Structure 1
Amino acid sequence: MAFDTSEPLTADTFGDELLPGTTLFHGQYRIIRFINSGGFGITYLAKDSLDRDVVIKECFSSTFCRRAETRVRARSQSTREHMSKIVKAFLNEARSLAALKHPNIVGVHQVFEDNDTAYMALDYIRGHDLLDIIEDRRVVLTPDQIVTIAAKLVSAIDYIHSNGLLHCDISPDNIFITQDGEPILIDFGAARRSASGVAEKYSGLSVVKDGYSPHELYAPGGNSGPWSDIYSLAASLHHAITGTAPENCQNRLSAKAEKRPDPLTPLAGAVAGYPKGFLESVDTAMSVVPAARFQTAHAWTQSLPQPVQSSDRKVVLLRRVAPPPLTPQPTQAPVRPRRPTTRVLGPDLSGLRRIGGFTGGWLVDSVTGSVMASETGRGDADPAATMATAIDMAQANLKALGSNREERIDDILITLGRRMHLIRPLDGTLGLCLCVVLDSESANPLLARMQLRRIAQGLRL
């Protein structure tokens, strides 16, 4: 649950998502916390009847649906029919996905109906999505690791296509890298059925992501097929290779129509360190014209270089560690051997700056009051006093909760005049919490809590 000292908790505090503690499917699942939301649904961390962690995906499109307590209702009479079609499609594709068994595709445990909508129970994957890894400047993905990731994901989409399905929403945030370094394709909310290798004209709901979606997914009636997933996967790999999201396919198509140069620079010849043929294959897979791409994932696999024992390699993320400064030593005295030392960078809190109204943030040991890392914002005339107040408030509130609370506290929100204090204990740690101070007139409390949740989940200590 969330704890707010300024007002009692209501469903409005949480928006569209189900409240922690909500049970589903005759008590078989219990919602623990919100994870994320997208165009086709909301995902939660939950516990099953055996107290195991699972992910619950709820069919919920905010465009057509609204929440009435726990039940899902059509937003208006005009959207009722479309909502019914969405739920039916969700159930059909979920049952198809439940039959997929591949080491690089998220597993579906159960499909069921409740609250007048549909749900999937999925594997809970511990790790980080590829987008987080790319944006974490302290993490390095080597060319060998990216080649290995690519081979496994191309195999995964080949398997999906051979089962008559298209993913239609592949992007770095839908590719998870587990703690063992295994890439897992997640979020099949936009999946649709298609005869293998045959184009499908689609006129229903679709998810498009600039930079990753091919142009045929933008317009109703576009001829989507295996080549559409191939483009999206190649665009995701392009982002991992260059560190920059690729150019919007619509802009590339316009340039081609106007006989201007493609605004996307080919990888081949521009990036070093990759085996021969790999970058060329990614460039081919990202061709603007569908017919110029690989038409099947199997064809892409055939063109990929085959590194020795690549299937057995795990992606161990390397961290950039700045070398310690060199200290001049006196030449007249002998220098005694020194033990090698490693300088560990502090936790990165720079993501806090993206929260609206951000004034300052600190990673704090609530027991001792010591600050492990900090991030300052703008417009604070006395940041030291603000930090001291935030730490004191965090210690007092967490101490008051003590060991008597029956449920885990997700966050504490306190509004004092123009300042809003947001305190979030970190899961799996003893006493560590994030303390953030926001300007209450420019901050969005619900959005801030969601952003802080994501930052806390991705924090590497």
Structure 2
Amino acid sequence: MAAPTAHPEGTVLEGRYRVDGVLARGGMSVVHRGVDLRLERPVAIKILDRSLASDPAFVRRFEREARAAARLAHPGIVAVHDQGRDPDGTVFLVLELVEGGTLRDVLRDQGRLHPAAALTVAEQIVTALQVAHDRGLVHRDVKPENVLIGRDGSVKVADFGLVAAAWETDPDDSGEMVLGTVAYLAPEQVTDGRADARSDVYATGIVLFELLTGVPPHGGGDAVSVARRHVQNDVPPPSSVVGGVPRALDRLVIAATHRDPETRLADTAAFLAAARGVRIDADLPFHPVPLPPRRASTGGSRPLRGTRLLDLDGDQVSDVTDRSRTRRPPREEPEEPDDDTWEGEAWEELPDEPDDEDDVDVDDLEHDDDQPARRRTDTVDDIDVAIEQIERRRARSRSRRLLAAWLLLEAIATVAAGAAGWGLGLPG
């Protein structure tokens, strides 16, 4: 199916919502900036592709899911203000407008995040998902494109409802369709199309892996080969791809991405509890989320739409080259000590790290002997540079304030001494 087309700018839907420029494009919709003319406020307008808007059964499911998503009142979830159907057949959602960008924009700009920032983002994603899960709503398509980062550093999960509606196929097709974005699909979504809260936990674990390393664990290649890796291959520890990742974070990623949902972290509450433990174990304080660049971005992962259940018994597709080599080289950081292991059956003791300091490829790929396992450069990570600059500015500012305070006190003391002397010199 052709990609959804943008709606003409200036169109007014239902006599109330003016459609402006394009903010983002997806496999099933286009998101425009818009204005609610009645309330005179800026909004985002998600307009369904014509092929979906012409399907009455899909539209009914979409409207039902939109009503469910509208009940999710939480600062970490993009608010649904309204849903409608224009007389010309346009089906749309009116959403909270988040000024900023997506987590994908941040990754394109940064390459990867500081471990403390990555954990902060993951915690906020899971907190929002927990609200939805408590209401019986599963997202099914957690990915960087569906996580919005505001100019104030806020993190908001978007796109509840649309994917859920698409997953509900007709009875004759039940269990025969796989929808979502292939790089983040849980194994159970690939094999039999089922999804629950643990599927969202898996996808969040994949996102956390990507935030730490700059690449998804099973990225590259065609959709079928990537989906097969989710089913057949374990997600490796992020520290096997880049340096400087605390082993406690390795354990969190592995616990969240077990292929068997029965041994995976049970739900978002378990994820959050484990994340809090990681902060203590690895001494990772809360870290501000990097802001997205100001340039517009409408790209993103192409969703795996309408893919039939995969024949995973076929020939194994060759692994693809590790795309982390095209990313910004990570800064060398000291290895975290291997502290006590986590308790609970979801946590596993990781094997000892090899003596060789070279990183292992995502899928244990083979390369020519003269190809280094990781390019080493003197490039310093942008986040750490910024932090160091901020600390230096703060130190200089403190020094100036102390000097000014000392001069002021000295002046006061001098004046006081002079006044005392003058007073003593007066006749009695």
TM-score class normalised by the smaller sequence? 0.5 to 0.7
Deviations 1:265-316 (A, max 9, x none): 2225665545563331111111222222112111111211354899975324
Q: Relative contact order: is structure 1 or structure 2 higher (C-alpha 8 Å, sep ≥ 6)?
A: 2
Deviations 1:304-343 (A, max 9, x none): 1354899975324599xxxxxxxxxxxxxxxxxxxxxxxx
Cα offset, 1:183, TM superposition: 1.3
Answer yes or no: is 1:302 the counterpart of 2:279.
no
After superposition, the Cα gap between the structure-2 partners of 1:204 and 1:33, relative to the gap in structure 1 and judged at 3 Å, is farther
Cα offset, 1:37, TM superposition: 2.7
| 1:291 aligns with one of 254, 258, 262 | 262
| 2:202 aligns with one of 216, 231, 248 | 231
Partner of 1:130: 103
Normalised TM-score (structure 2): 0.58
| 1:107 aligns with one of 57, 73, 79 | 79
Q: Is the 8 A contact 1:230 1:294 kept in 2?
A: yes
After superposition, the Cα gap between the structure-2 partners of 1:135 and 1:256, relative to the gap in structure 1 and judged at 3 Å, is closer
Report the 3-state secondary structure (helix = DSSP H, G, I; strand = E; otherwise coil) of the residue aligned with 1:32: strand
| 1:33 aligns with one of 4, 21, 25 | 21
After superposition, the Cα gap between the structure-2 partners of 1:29 and 1:36, relative to the gap in structure 1 and judged at 3 Å, is same
Partner of 2:214: 243
Deviations 1:104-136 (A, max 9, x none): 110111122223353211011111211121122
Answer yes or no: is 1:191 the counterpart of 2:191.
no
Cα offset, 1:55, TM superposition: 0.5
| 2:288 aligns with one of 314, 325, 328 | 314
Deviates more, 1:111-120 or 1:238-247: 111-120
1:95 is matched by which residue type in structure 2?
R
* 2: CA distance, partners of 1:204 / 1:22: 38
Q: Is the 8 A contact 1:112 1:119 kept in 2?
A: yes
* 2: CA distance, partners of 1:105 / 1:120: 15
Partner of 1:380: none
Partner of 2:130: 158
1:38 is matched by which residue type in structure 2?
G
* 1: CA distance, partners of 2:104 / 2:292: 16
1:145 is matched by which residue type in structure 2?
A
* 2: CA distance, partners of 1:120 / 1:254: 34
Report the 3-state secondary structure (helix = DSSP H, G, I; strand = E; otherwise coil) of the residue aligned with 2:198: helix
Deviations 1:70-127 (A, max 9, x none): xx5x4xxxxxxxx111101110010011110111110111122223353211011111
| 1:142 aligns with one of 97, 106, 114 | 114
* 2: CA distance, partners of 1:103 / 1:256: 32
Partner of 1:51: 40
* 2: CA distance, partners of 1:285 / 1:315: 22
* 2: CA distance, partners of 1:255 / 1:213: 10
Q: Is the 8 A contact 2:236 2:254 kept in 1?
A: no
After superposition, the Cα gap between the structure-2 partners of 1:256 and 1:162, relative to the gap in structure 1 and judged at 3 Å, is closer
Percent identical pairs in the alignment equals 26
Cα offset, 1:35, TM superposition: 2.4
1:295 is matched by which residue type in structure 2?
A
Cα offset, 1:244, TM superposition: 1.1
* 1: CA distance, partners of 2:260 / 2:226: 10
Partner of 2:70: 98
Cα offset, 1:173, TM superposition: 1.1
Partner of 1:116: 89
Normalised TM-score (structure 1): 0.54
Partner of 2:346: none
More strand by share: 1
After superposition, the Cα gap between the structure-2 partners of 1:86 and 1:131, relative to the gap in structure 1 and judged at 3 Å, is same
Deviates more, 1:242-251 or 1:94-103: 242-251
Q: Is the 8 A contact 1:59 1:117 kept in 2?
A: yes
Cα offset, 1:158, TM superposition: 1.1
More helix by share: 2
Deviations 1:385-432 (A, max 9, x none): xxxxxxxxxxxxxxxxxxxxxxxxxxxxxxxxxxxxxxxxxxxxxxxx
Cα offset, 1:211, TM superposition: 1.7
Aligned residues: 283
* 1: CA distance, partners of 2:163 / 2:213: 27
Alignment of 1:423-442 (within 5 A): none
1:93 is matched by which residue type in structure 2?
E
Partner of 1:452: none
Partner of 1:22: 11
2:18 is matched by which residue type in structure 1?
R
Answer yes or no: is 1:211 the counterpart of 2:199.
no
Q: Is the 8 A contact 1:165 1:192 kept in 2?
A: no
Q: Is the 8 A contact 1:166 1:193 kept in 2?
A: no
* 2: CA distance, partners of 1:227 / 1:239: 19
* 2: CA distance, partners of 1:213 / 1:187: 16
Alignment of 1:366-381 (within 5 A): none
Alignment of 1:167-186 (within 5 A): 167-186=139-158
2:288 is matched by which residue type in structure 1?
K
1:315 is matched by which residue type in structure 2?
V
What residue ranges of structure 1 are gaps of 5+ in the alignment? Answer: 1-13, 66-71, 75-82, 195-200, 320-346, 353-461
After superposition, the Cα gap between the structure-2 partners of 1:317 and 1:120, relative to the gap in structure 1 and judged at 3 Å, is closer
What residue ranges of structure 2 are gaps of 5+ in the alignment? Answer: 168-172, 300-428
Task: Specify the structure having the higher radius of gyration (Cα).
Answer: 2
